[in-house]
């Protein structure tokens, strides 16, 4: 049952036409580096600031991309996979309680998973799914110099 | 390959099957769920508020109030990005989110968006969480 639901969900992700979001206003909710928990621990603002800027695509998950341990974290992994994004940093909060709380404080966001694009907090699973459905994710990836494979698939279909 | 309508129907059917097993108890609304509903009504004056306790579908004890899905339709979301809308919801529920609730799936729509697509999304199956075993949905 979970297998077929997974496939149906993946197909739906591909073809869904969800409601679009508002304009691309910059998120004001992320705390500036240096505020919040001090010290050099894995959850400190300084460390996290460096982490989210180290790669173009950074995600904080429960589990790993190979073995997600949360359905919502898995959804983030599957969406990135659908777009052919292979080169991203994934951090498993289940391995590190300091990281788990630290990233919630840093992002000012209470839940996991969390997605960062180009050092900027984007949102959780719901928002990433919405961006995938309305085409925003393809655009945001393009700005980062990442070409979504869905563009190539669409091209193949258009030419048939 | 699923067309849009068929895909939505299949997912919503699957969602209904899961949800009938997911509720914390037949018709029981716990204190956390009641608080969430009240706070969202006060903060966002919603046209539509669909709230579901999905804890039963996750690796937590029966009767838990830890995983929720909410669809909020409110004119207060006009002009706000998805991120800003979600932050509004979080702000209304800061106490619950700092406390028992550690998963909150949000659909935040304006009235016009909801009329275009009046569909409650469904949550993906649990994968066991920190218990490190694969849960069955």
Min Cα–Cα distance to chain B from A65, Å? 12
Residues of A whose CB is below 8 A from B107: 126
pLDDT (0 to 100) of residue A160: 63
B81 and A23 within 8 Å at the Cβ level: the answer is yes
Q: Would you say residue B1 has pLDDT above 90?
A: no
pLDDT (0 to 100) of residue B122: 83
Nearest to B127 among A25, A63, A130 (CB): A63
pLDDT (0 to 100) of residue B57: 87
Q: What is the pLDDT of residues A73-116, one digit of tens each?
A: 999 999 999 999 999 999 999 999 999 999 999 999 999 999 99
Q: What is the pLDDT of residues A17-33, one digit of tens each?
A: 333 333 333 455 554 43
Looking at chain A, list the stretches that DSSP marks H as alpha helix, in order from N- to C-terminal side: 2-15, 45-54, 71-82, 97-107, 125-134, 136-143, 149-159
What does the alpha-carbon distance between residue A150 and residue A157 come to, in Å, rounded to a whole number? Answer: 10
What does the alpha-carbon distance between residue B22 and residue B51 come to, in Å, rounded to a whole number? Answer: 13
Q: What is the pLDDT of residues A140-154, one digit of tens each?
A: 999 999 999 999 877
Tokens (6 digits) for A136: 């925003």
Q: What is the pLDDT of residues B33-63, one digit of tens each?
A: 999 999 999 999 999 999 999 998 888 999 9
The model carries a pTM of 0.77
Torsion of CA A95, A99, A100, A106, to 10 degrees: -160
Q: What is the pLDDT of residues A118-138, one digit of tens each?
A: 999 999 999 999 999 999 999
Q: What is the pLDDT of residues B80-121, one digit of tens each?
A: 999 999 999 999 999 999 999 989 999 999 999 999 988 878
Residue B42 three-state SS:
helix
In sequence order, the 6+-apart residues with CB closer than 8 A to the CB of A146 are A56, A57, A83, A85, A87
What does the alpha-carbon distance between residue A70 and residue A60 come to, in Å, rounded to a whole number? Answer: 12
Residues of B whose CB is below 8 A from A29: 83, 87
A110 and B4 within 8 Å at the Cβ level: the answer is no
Higher-scoring residue by pLDDT: B7, A84: A84
Q: Would you say residue A1 has pLDDT above 50?
A: no
pLDDT (0 to 100) of residue B16: 39
pLDDT (0 to 100) of residue B15: 40
Min Cα–Cα distance to chain A from B62, Å? 18
Nearest to A18 among B78, B103, B117 (CB): B117
Closest listed residue to residue B125, CA positions, set A7, A59, A61:
A7
B84 and A109 within 8 Å at the Cβ level: the answer is no
Higher-scoring residue by pLDDT: B7, A59: A59
A23 and B79 within 8 Å at the Cβ level: the answer is yes
What does the alpha-carbon distance between residue A117 and residue A130 come to, in Å, rounded to a whole number? Answer: 15
Q: What is the DSSP pairing of strand A120-123 with strand A114-117?
A: antiparallel
Q: Kindly state whether B132 is in contact with chain A, defined as any CB-CB distance less than 8 angstroms.
A: yes
Share of chain B above pLDDT 70, in %: 75
Tell me, what's the ipTM?
0.76
Q: A99 near A93, Cβ under 8 Å?
A: yes
Q: A43 near A99, Cβ under 8 Å?
A: yes
A40 confidence band (pLDDT: 50, 70, 90)? low
B132 confidence band (pLDDT: 50, 70, 90)? low
The interaxial angle of helices A125-134 and A136-143, nearest 10 deg, is: 90
What does the alpha-carbon distance between residue B101 and residue B70 come to, in Å, rounded to a whole number? Answer: 13
Mean pLDDT of chain A: 81
A41 confidence band (pLDDT: 50, 70, 90)? low
């Amino acid at each position: 049952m979970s297998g077929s639901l997974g496939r149906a969900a993946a197909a739906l992700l591909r073809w869904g036409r969800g409601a679009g979001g508002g304009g691309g206003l910059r998120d004001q909710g992320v705390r500036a580096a240096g505020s919040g928990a001090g010290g050099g621990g894995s959850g400190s603002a300084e460390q996290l600031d460096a982490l989210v800027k180290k790669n173009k695509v950074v995600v904080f998950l429960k589990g790993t991309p190979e073995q997600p341990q949360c359905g919502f974290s898995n959804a983030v992994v599957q969406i990135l996979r659908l777009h052919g994004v292979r080169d991203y940093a994934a951090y498993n909060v289940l391995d590190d309680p300091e990281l788990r709380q630290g990233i919630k404080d840093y992002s000012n966001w209470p839940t996991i998973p969390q997605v960062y694009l180009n050092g900027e907090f984007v949102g959780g699973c719901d928002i990433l799914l919405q961006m995938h459905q309305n085409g925003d994710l393809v655009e945001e990836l393009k700005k980062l110099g990442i070409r979504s494979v869905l563009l190539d698939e669409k091209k193949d279909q258009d030419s048939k | 390959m699923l067309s849009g309508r068929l895909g939505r129907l299949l997912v919503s059917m699957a969602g209904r099957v899961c949800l009938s097993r997911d509720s914390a108890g037949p018709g029981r609304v716990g204190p956390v769920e009641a608080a969430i509903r009240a706070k969202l009504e006060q903060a966002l004056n919603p046209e539509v508020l669909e709230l579901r306790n999905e804890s039963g579908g996750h690796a937590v004890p029966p009767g838990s109030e830890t995983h929720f899905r909410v669809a909020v339709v409110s004119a207060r979301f006009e002009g706000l990005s998805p991120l800003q809308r979600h932050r509004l919801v979080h702000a209304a529920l800061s106490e619950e989110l700092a406390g028992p609730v550690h998963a909150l799936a949000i659909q935040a729509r304006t009235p016009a968006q909801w009329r275009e697509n009046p569909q409650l999304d469904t949550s993906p199956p649990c994968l066991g969480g920190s218990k490190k075993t694969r849960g069955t949905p």
